[in-house]
Chain A
Amino acid sequence: MRHNSSRDLVIPGPAGCALMALALLAWCILFLKAEEQIPILVYMISGCLLVLVAALSDLHKSISATIASNEAAWDGCMIGVMLLLMITFRDDHYTLLLLGTIMAYATAVLGLNVQLGFTGVINFSAASFFGIGCYTAAILGTAGWPSLLCLVMGGVMAALVGCLLLAPVLRTSGHYAALVTMAFALLFRVFLEVSDLLGGPQGVAVPPMQMFGVDFSQAMQLWGSECSFYLRYDIALLILLSLSFAFVRRLERSWIGLSMDAVRSDETASACFGINIAKWKIVAFTLGNLLSGLSGALYGMMLAYISPANYAFADSLIFLSILLLGGIGNSWGVILATVFVVVVPEKFQVIQEYRYLLYAALVLFMIIYRPMGLLPRKVRNYGRLA
Chain B
Amino acid sequence: MSALLSCTDLTMRFGGLTALDKLNLDVAKGDVLGLVGPNGSGKTTFFNVVTGIYRPSAGTVVFDGQDVTSRTAQEIYRLGIARTFQRSRLCLDLTVFDNVMIGNHKNLDMGIVHNLLARGRFRAECKRNLERVKTLLHGLNPALVKRVGQPVSMLSMIDRRRVEVCRALVSDPVLLFLDEPSAGMTHDETKRLMDEILVLSDGGKNFTVVLIEHEMEVIRRVTNRCVVLNFGRKLCEGDYETVTADPFVKEAYLGTELD
Contacts and interface: CB of A to CB of B under 8 A. Distances in A.
Contact of B74 (A255, A258, A269, A271): A271
Interface string B103-143: 10110111010011001001100110010000000000000
Contact of A272 (B51, B98, B119): B51
Interface residues of A, number: 28
Contact of A270 (B95, B102, B115, B149): B102
Contact of A247 (B93, B101, B116): B116
Contacts of B108: 255
Nearest to A265: B91
Interface stretch (B12-20, B77-85, B188-196, B248-256): B77-85
B199 interface: no
Given A269-B89, A274-B77, A379-B94, A255 B110 contact: yes
A33 interface: no
Contacts of B83: 272
A382 B115 contact: no
Contacts, number: 98
A271 B92 CA distance: 17
Contact of A266 (B52, B77, B82, B91): B91
A254 B116 contact: yes
Contacts of A272: 51-53, 73, 77, 82-83
A385 B97 CA distance: 13
B151 interface: yes
A254 B115 contact: yes
Given A247-B116, A273-B77, A383 B126 contact: yes
A261 interface: yes
Given A265-B91, A265-B92, A382-B126, A271 B102 contact: no
B162 interface: no
B72 interface: yes
Given A247-B116, A256-B110, A256-B115, A273 B95 contact: no
A271 B98 contact: no
A271 B72 contact: yes
Given A265-B91, A271-B72, A385 B102 contact: no
A268 B151 CA distance: 20
B167 interface: yes
A171 to B, nearest CB: 16
A275 to B, nearest CB: 5
A276 interface: yes
Given A265-B91, A380-B94, A273 B105 contact: yes
Interface string A270-288: 1111111000000000000
B105 A275 contact: yes
A266 to B, nearest CB: 5
Interface string A53-96: 00000000000000000000000000000000000000000000
A380 B150 CA distance: 10
A259 interface: yes
A79 to B, nearest CB: 19
Interface string B141-156: 0000000011100000
Nearest to A329: B93
Given A265-B91, A266-B89, A274-B106, A383 B98 contact: no
A251 interface: yes
A384 interface: yes
19 contacts: A250-B116, A250-B119, A256-B112, A256-B115, A256-B116, A258-B101, A261-B91, A269-B90, A269-B91, A269-B102, A271-B74, A272-B83, A273-B102, A274-B105, A275-B74, A377-B93, A379-B149, A380-B94, A383-B123
Interface of A: 247, 250-251, 254-256, 258-259, 261-262, 265-266, 268-276, 377, 379-380, 382-385
Ranked nearest first, the 9 interchain pairs of A and B with the lowest CB-CB distance are A254-B115, A265-B91, A269-B89, A271-B73, A274-B77, A274-B105, A255-B108, A274-B74, A262-B102
